[in-house]
Amino acid sequence: MWNVFGARTLLTSGRQLFMIDKFRSTGRPLLEILADPNSIFIQGLAKFQRRTLYTNILNDRSAVYYTTSISKTDPFTNLDKMKIEYLKGYEDIILDPSVPPRLITEVQESNALSARVLRETQTSLMRLPFLFALISYIPVGMITVLVNSGIQALESHRRIRRYEMGLTEIQPSAYRVPLFLTRVQGTIGDVYESVNNAQSHEYLPAGSEEASLLDEEELIPKLNRAGRLEDGQSEYGVGSEQEGVGGSFATLALAPTQFRMIRHLDEVGWRKFPVHIRRARHTHAAVIVRTDKPSFEEGWVVLRHWVEEEFIL
């Protein structure tokens, strides 16, 4: 239901993000074309000397981990049961990409129980004002946005038709959305992010036919005997217990097209750095220090790492 409702209320952008569009005469979704290794987009991206990405492992409502890390798996769905290593000099913020996360032992898990309960209680209390505002605002806001979405969809089709007919006298000011509606849409956009983030993720069952069709070498970066990624590998991977990594991470249940897009994007080559931000509830804004406030201070560590370690003159 979410895939149907979300894709059709966000107009053209929604159809493109949910990959139900057909770009021009190609018959393919726009995002698939952008990720095609033969496209000018991927070829242009490959020309950069260094490609670095930072990905939030928690509380990114706008772009979850497996999206920003270009990954088929998410090893951080239950962080309380994982042991993670941080990058030297950037402790407690940036994870070491060469050391995969590991399942903690039962003893370690029992010691972490009280801390987890306290943290979850604090998080729940922080969310109460936000949840109350959503409950009060959603009914009116949703009706307003849905009506406006229908109007804007009709106007969009009309503008496209006139453009294709060569009528260029269209004035953009005639189609500007009133400020009030813009604010409503911004708030509803936050609601969409929260609803999307609340969706339970589906995974391929272990041993299923779909999982067996996926190339294991493609899904799992190789680990050497020391438990570290081999040269050229930048994404967290999972090996067997003999390789020092306990357990395995489930593969997301995606469409074949989405798996191809991930593979093509990943083959360009990336330096990937998972980021663990704790103080901010909205880590998508904190990781780039969208505003200068105390809860976003951890983002300065990420910016410092980029300037000192990744930026090339």
Per-residue model confidence as pLDDT tens digits over 100-130:
888 876 545 555 556 666 666 766 676 677 6
Task: Write the pLDDT tens digit of every residue in 4-38.
Answer: 666 666 677 778 888 888 888 888 999 999 999 99
Distance from the Cα of residue 172 to its chain's centroid: 32
Contact predicate 282/100, CB 8 Å: no
In whole numbers, what is the pLDDT of the chain averaged over residues?
Answer: 75
Dist. CA 55–CA 129, nearest whole Å: 27
pLDDT band, residue 206 (cuts 50/70/90): low
Residue 141 vs residues 58, 156, 172: alpha-carbon distances, Å: 28, 22, 25
Task: Write the pLDDT tens digit of every residue in 134-158.
Answer: 677 677 777 877 787 778 778 877 7
Task: Write the pLDDT tens digit of every residue in 41-93.
Answer: 999 999 999 999 999 999 898 888 989 999 998 888 888 888 899 999 998 99
Task: Write the pLDDT tens digit of every residue in 223-259.
Answer: 333 333 444 444 454 333 333 333 467 788 888 899 9
Answer with the residue of higher pLDDT: 54 or 171. Answer: 54
**What is the predicted pLDDT for the residue at 151?**
82
Helical spans, DSSP H, in the chain: 2-9, 11-17, 30-34, 40-46, 65-68, 106-164, 179-198, 209-213, 216-219, 256-266, 283-286, 298-305
236-259 per-residue burial string, b: 16 or more CB within 10 A, e: under 16? bbbbeeebebbebbbbbebeeebb
Q: Is the pTM of this model over 0.75?
A: no
**What is the predicted pLDDT for the residue at 142?**
72
